[in-house]
Every structure is written in structure tokens, then in C-alpha cells.
Structure 1
Amino acid sequence: MRFDEIVRFMLFEYQETAQGFADFNTGLYPYFDPRSFLVEFQIEAERCRLPDKGYLRIWLHLPLHSPSEDDIDILKVSPLEALVRYPRLEVNIGYAFFEFDLASVVVNLEISIIFSFRHFRQQFDIDPVTVGEYDTESVLFREYTASFGNIYFDENSTSLAKSIVGEETNQYLQAKKLYYYVVENFQYCFMAHSAIEADGIPESLYAYEHHFGDCGMQSVFFATLCRSIGIPARTRGGFQLFSGQLGSRFWAEFFLPNYGWVPVYTSAGQFANYAMNVTDDERKAFIDFFFGNQEPLRVSVQNSVDREPKEGPFDIQ
């Protein structure tokens, strides 16, 4: 599908839907118009490619219970005897954890998990005047304005964020300026994340220095700019389901009092920059959509890019 076709499809499918007739998640506006999914994860490993002994640990991602995602049902797990404990769905990263004693494995490993869930579309209609004041002593504020892990900021990134927002003091409008900065000044590019991690470089620092990156790196950088000026932000991860297949995706969220966690997807907004046959109004509407809105065709599996499963690796003596 060409970029201009994607822009027009998204605008037709989501921008003009009348909320008054949508299926709302009761009491949880702005979450509405849910889509239901059935997903099967499968992993197969040939026995000859595995070590003769030791332990093999495998984590399979699962949806997280949240305002935008519910009705999660684990339908089948195989092999059940290798499942360490019941899958985690209520924490910061959803997963099923399998462990195998390789000394007892004599055939090829076949691992699968089938689950269903529904995901809501999000549409935040925010009036900047009604944005509340942050509780700067709260756990949420302290955690999500900290410089930590890949969302690392220093005086350089803080100075950049301040120059972008200028004299604007409203946090919602500040975040929108930061969003447009990333959309307009970053080049989308696939990244060798493992190599960057191996070098011990925070992704936000790499993004600051090079001004290009994929959905994950751009989302990390947007969150970094927000945090550096006192706006709580995070980078969530999961999968998008446009093609019927699970394509890995990361996006950002920033927190506003009286509204909650607001979704932001800079790399999707950039699609409009590559569309040659759309009007200026269509281009702007498409970019605006991915600031404060999110289509329902996805599954969220982690609340923060720096979250890891609770069960970590261990050395075998």
C-alpha cells in the first residue's frame, strides 16, 4: 500500500468516526470501538541445535490488562509442564515463562501459546485549559520524570527540549511541540538495537546525536524530551496488526492530570511526509491523529521499554 493510500485510509477509517455511536468501555472514556483478536505464538527449535545440558528459558509476550486492553483469555499452553507459573498479565510486562532442563530434552522443542483479547481505540479530546497540576511527590511523577535506562537525559537534551517548547507553559501544548519536532526532524531508519545496547549507549543519547531511528528509538527520544522538562512519559511496546500478522512496534505515552496516559506515535505520523499525492490538510490531519489517538489494531505487552521479566537468567554451576 502506497504512503498516500495509507494516509487516506487512516483518515477515512478513524479520524471521522462519530464517538456518540461507538462501543465505549464503560467509565473509561476515551477508550471505545474495541476489536477482538485470537493469537497463536509458536516456537520450534531443533534438538541438534541446542546444548546437551543446561537450562533453556523462554519468554513469550502476552497482552497486559489496561484501560485500552481487556478480556484476555489464555486458551492453550504447550508444553504445560514447562510453564514455570501462570502467565503474568497484571504487571508492567506481560509474558509466559518456560524453562527446560536440556539434559532431559530428546526431541525437537515445540512451544505454543494461544490467547484472545480485545483492544480499544483511543481518542483523547483534550482542552489545554482543563489539564490539572502534577503531584510532584507522587510515585508516578518521580518514576516517569527520571533519567533512567534508555530514557536518559542530560543538560544537552534538556536544553533542546526547552528550546523546542519556548515560552509555552501548558504541558499538553509542550508535548505537542515535542511531537512535531521529532516528526519533522527525524529520519525513519531501522536500527541495530542489540549493537547499541552492547556498546552501553542509551538509545535516547544515540537519537540525540544522530537524529534518526525506528519507532522504538523515536518513541524513547520523545519520552526523553518530555521527562527532561518535567512531563511524565514512557515508551510502551507491543505489536501492530494491520496485516493480520504481529509486527513489533513501540510508541510513547505522556501523562496529563485529569486525562491519564496519552498515546503518541511519531514514526506513524511521519508516513505523511512520504506521501506525495495528499493535500496539506490531509497531511496535517494524519500527523495530528497520532498525537493523542491510537487505532485499535494492536496488542500492548509492556508499559516501559526498560522493563524486564521478573525471572532473570542465572548461572548453572
Structure 2
Amino acid sequence: MFNDLKYLKVNLPEDILKLKCSGNFEGAQKLIDLRLEKQIPVAMRKRLEIEKEILTTIKGEYPYSFEQALKIMQDNIKDFTEEEMEELQENSQADWILVDGKVKFNDSFYGSIVKTRPDIEARLKNNVSNDDRGQFLNDNIKDTKENGSASYFIRMKTSVKIKNPGDKLGKIIKVHMPLPIECQQSDIKIISTTPESKYMSSVDYPQRTAYFETKLEGPQEFSVEYSFKSTLTYNNPDPLLVSEEQPKFFTEEQEPHIMFTPYIRELANEIVGDETNPLIKARKIYDYITQNVRYSYMRAYSTITNIPEYAALNLKGDCGVQGLLFITLLRCAGIPARWQSGLAVTPQHIGPHDWTQFYVEPFGWLFADPSFGGGALRNGNTEKWNFYFGNLDPFRMVANSEFQHEFDPPKKYWRHDPYDNQVGECEYEDRGLRREEFKVEYQLLEMKKL
């Protein structure tokens, strides 16, 4: 099914789309099954098969009724009112869909609101500050600029634990766990795996993994311990030094997401205008995204048919959604751009994160992190905003250098995230595991400045 993702660009038949939009997922599934029994074009068959997976996933992403969402807010936010909840819904700051004709809110709506609305965060009943992480990153920016680079040794452990295996005890389970790749990372060492992994893809593989295949023995845990050196050089590229000749690699479309749709073309042209310098064009696009696209936690990427256009139309999205919009707009403007992702790793927090690279001669590949840059701008930190155009901090574990790439070895069943891999993927011999069926943990074992 991985190779069929391009068929997401095919529109759904109107009757199925109507049922989906009203939240009648059972009805939509029924109509899909009826169509699949008929002689239909291959492209439509592939599209409907993918839609069945989307419908299965999307309902579970929106568990809260209006009343339940309101209670969550009132339990955590001082003096929160029903009118405020309605306003958050109307402004799409609280992500919702219709399920069986009723409004349901995304399972991450609360965290998204607290992260992006300082006025609401200030009213938290139990407000725990995360200033230490912000200061840690600010100190690195100062240090990187003063010394011209930053380099750290990082040793960590990632684990996947299978929940409630039920009737699968004694059956074969296959697990794919992310590993660090060669890039700004070097001296990569795989210290141990538990149990012993069956295979590891090469250190330069675009979505590198450790592959486990074993009989399941209870709520089993799979883990990988590894270390690497992360080194970033400070870049302050001068537009006046940009070469006249620029490369054309990494400027193509990649179905179904990195697509130059009519709206993407219009938006790119409006942002860039008559500018011809590729570095200035890239900065204009970075500024547009960081100034206009509001950070928002997202439902599963597998449920979105065109991620960059989603960001462009709704002006909201998380790190990967903003990164894909940046890449797509740059490529549409003729500037090479590509994906990187894995984990953001600091002593205060470890979590999945996505960012980008873009290419301008004579400077080569430069970094851009619209998510971190936009957050800095919202907080009034223009130095940090400027830093994340052209630069990156060394506190990353890079596992993926390409978006939408197959595993080695391939996963047989539908991936929880068909496009990226930060938490791992699992499957039995007869089906894949959904994200709620396994637990992921990260441990920072050692971090030292070099």
C-alpha cells in the first residue's frame, strides 16, 4: 500500500465525501465497499482502499464531545467559560470534526491551546514553567554564534512496549525502531538492542531502522541504546554573495503532498513577488510561515490528503506540517528543499520533531525550522527567530532524511505514519498495530559538550 499513496490526489466520489464530512463513517465505509465490489478504474480503487484506512484512524483521533472538552478546560483553566469554548471552536483553535453529526474535539486540543495561547496558559491552575528548556536553547544560540559551531555527544535509549497483546501471545511480531543516520551526526554507535535485532538498515538509509522479528512474550519491550556526535556550524549567509547559477535538484513534486496545486502556486507567487535572489525568496517564505501559520497539534498525518495545502488553507499546523509547507513553497519557487526529522533532545524534554533543509549556492545546504522560529517570534525573541533560518541546534536525533520513504525491510501493513518515522512501527503477521497499541519511551543517558 505504501506505493499507492500517490492516489490520495484522486478526489473521493461525492456521496462518500458527503458522508465523511458529516461524520457518518460507517455509511462511508459501506459505500466504499459497494464500489470496491464493482469494476472501477485502478486509481479509484486504490484511493478507496486508502480511504478505508483513513476512516478507521480518524474517528479515534477525536474522542471528546463539546461537554467533555469544556470540562477538560474548566478542570485546568481558571474561570473558563462555555463562551470561550465556543470561540475556540469557531476560530478553529480547538481542532474538531463531525462524528455522526455531532462535534468531536481532537485528543490533543487542550495541549495545543495551552501551547499557543499565552493568555490561557497564564490561567492554568497548576502552571509548571518550561523556561529551563528555552534558556538552554537560547544559551546554545549565543554559544554557536560566538564560537562558530556547536558540538555535543549524546547517548540515549528508545523503547517500544507492546500493550495488552491478548490472543497474540506466542505469535510473531515485527517492530521497526528509528536509528540515527549520518548527516550532521557522526561517530554513530549502536550500543545494544533488546532483544537482539534481526536487521539494521545502513547508516545512510533515508529512514533508518532497527528491525525486530520475534515471538511475542507478554507486554514485551523492544529497545535500542545508541550514541552519536552532533555538530552544527553557524551560518550567516549574505544575499549579496549568492551565485547566479543555482541547482535544480530537490525541486520536483512528490505526490500526494509536495504538489504545486493552483493555490500553492498562487501563494508562492504572492509571497515571493518579483524577487529573484533565492536566499531572499527563501527568507520571504520562512517569514510568511512563521508570521501567519499558527502552531497546532495535529491528528495523524495519514488522515490528511494534502498536508502543505492543509497548512496553507487553514494557517495552522505542527512542526511537520509547517516544514512541508516550507519545502513545497520553496520547490514551487525553484529552490531545492528537503526534509529532516527525528527527535528534539534536551535535558528537559525529548520528543518527535520535524524540520527542513534548503540549498543555495555557494553556501550549500542550510537549515530552517519554521516551528521553532515561529514559536520564538510569538515570544518576541527575534534573535532566535532569525537563527532558525539558516541554522539548527545540535540537540536532535536525526532518523529521517527523506519524507515518504519505504523502510528497509519494508513494513507489510499500513503504517501509522506512512510518511515519517519518529516513534516506530509494529505489526503482527495478519495486521499492523495502531499507535494506541504500543507505548514509546525516550531516555537521555548522557549529553556533554565537546
Same-fold status (TM-score > 0.5):
yes
Indicate the residue corresponding to 1:98 in structure 2: 212
Q: Is the CA contact 2:162–2:220 (under 8 Å) kept in the aligned structure 1?
A: yes
**Residues 114 and 259 of structure 1, relative CA distance in 2, 3 Å threshold:** same
The one of 37, 43, 47 equivalent to 2:154 is 37
The one of 127, 134, 142 equivalent to 2:246 is 134
Amino acid in structure 2 at the alignment position of 1:120: T
**Residues 310 and 144 of structure 1, relative CA distance in 2, 3 Å threshold:** farther
Asked if 1:226 corresponds to 2:324, the answer is no
The 5 Å alignment of 1:1-317 reads 10-15=137-142, 17=144, 19=146, 21=147, 32-45=149-162, 48-49=165-166, 51-52=168-169, 55-66=172-183, 68-80=184-196, 83-100=197-214, 102=215, 105-132=216-243, 133-136=245-248, 141=249, 143-194=250-301, 197-198=302-303, 201-275=305-379, 283-314=381-412
The alpha carbon displacement at 1:46 in A equals 5.2
Amino acid in structure 2 at the alignment position of 1:298: R
Deviation by residue 1:260-289 (Cα, 9 ceiling, x = unmatched): 2211111111223432xx5xxxx3222111
Q: C-alpha distance in 1, partners of 2:139/2:224? A: 35
SS at match of 1:294: coil
Q: C-alpha distance in 1, partners of 2:275/2:328? A: 18
Q: C-alpha distance in 2, partners of 1:12/1:114? A: 28
Amino acid in structure 2 at the alignment position of 1:154: T
The alpha carbon displacement at 1:190 in A equals 0.2
Comparing 203-212 with 46-55, greater Cα deviation is found at 46-55
Q: C-alpha distance in 1, partners of 2:326/2:164? A: 43
Amino acid in structure 2 at the alignment position of 1:297: F
SS at match of 1:135: coil
Amino acid in structure 2 at the alignment position of 1:291: F
The alpha carbon displacement at 1:49 in A equals 3.2
The alpha carbon displacement at 1:107 in A equals 4.3
SS at match of 2:308: helix
Comparing 208-217 with 253-262, greater Cα deviation is found at 253-262
Comparing 46-55 with 258-267, greater Cα deviation is found at 46-55
The runs of 5 or more residues in structure 2 that have no matched partner are 1-127, 414-428, 431-450
The alpha carbon displacement at 1:131 in A equals 2.5
Deviation by residue 1:59-107 (Cα, 9 ceiling, x = unmatched): 11111111x1101001111211xx232343211122111122x4xx444
Q: C-alpha distance in 2, partners of 1:2/1:158? A: 41
The alpha carbon displacement at 1:187 in A equals 0.8
Q: Is the CA contact 1:219–1:252 (under 8 Å) kept in the aligned structure 2?
A: yes
Aligned residues, how many? 287
**Residues 157 and 43 of structure 1, relative CA distance in 2, 3 Å threshold:** same
Deviation by residue 1:151-182 (Cα, 9 ceiling, x = unmatched): 22212101111111111101011000000000
**Residues 188 and 47 of structure 1, relative CA distance in 2, 3 Å threshold:** closer
SS at match of 1:98: strand
Q: Is the CA contact 2:143–2:150 (under 8 Å) kept in the aligned structure 1?
A: no
The alpha carbon displacement at 1:111 in A equals 1.5
Amino acid in structure 1 at the alignment position of 2:140: E
Q: C-alpha distance in 2, partners of 1:41/1:16? A: 29
Indicate the residue corresponding to 1:29 in structure 2: none
Query: By percentage of residues, which structure has more helix?
Result: 2
Amino acid in structure 1 at the alignment position of 2:258: I
Q: C-alpha distance in 2, partners of 1:6/1:57? A: 35
SS at match of 1:307: coil
The alpha carbon displacement at 1:52 in A equals 4.8
Q: C-alpha distance in 2, partners of 1:114/1:36? A: 14
Amino acid in structure 2 at the alignment position of 1:40: K
Comparing 57-66 with 237-246, greater Cα deviation is found at 237-246
TM-score (norm 2): 0.58
**Residues 71 and 284 of structure 1, relative CA distance in 2, 3 Å threshold:** same
Amino acid in structure 2 at the alignment position of 1:37: I
What percent identity do the matched residue pairs reach? 24
Deviation by residue 1:119-155 (Cα, 9 ceiling, x = unmatched): 113421212233332233xxxx1x4432434322212
Q: C-alpha distance in 2, partners of 1:257/1:192? A: 37
Q: Is the CA contact 1:63–1:72 (under 8 Å) kept in the aligned structure 2?
A: yes
Indicate the residue corresponding to 2:43 in structure 1: none
SS at match of 1:57: strand
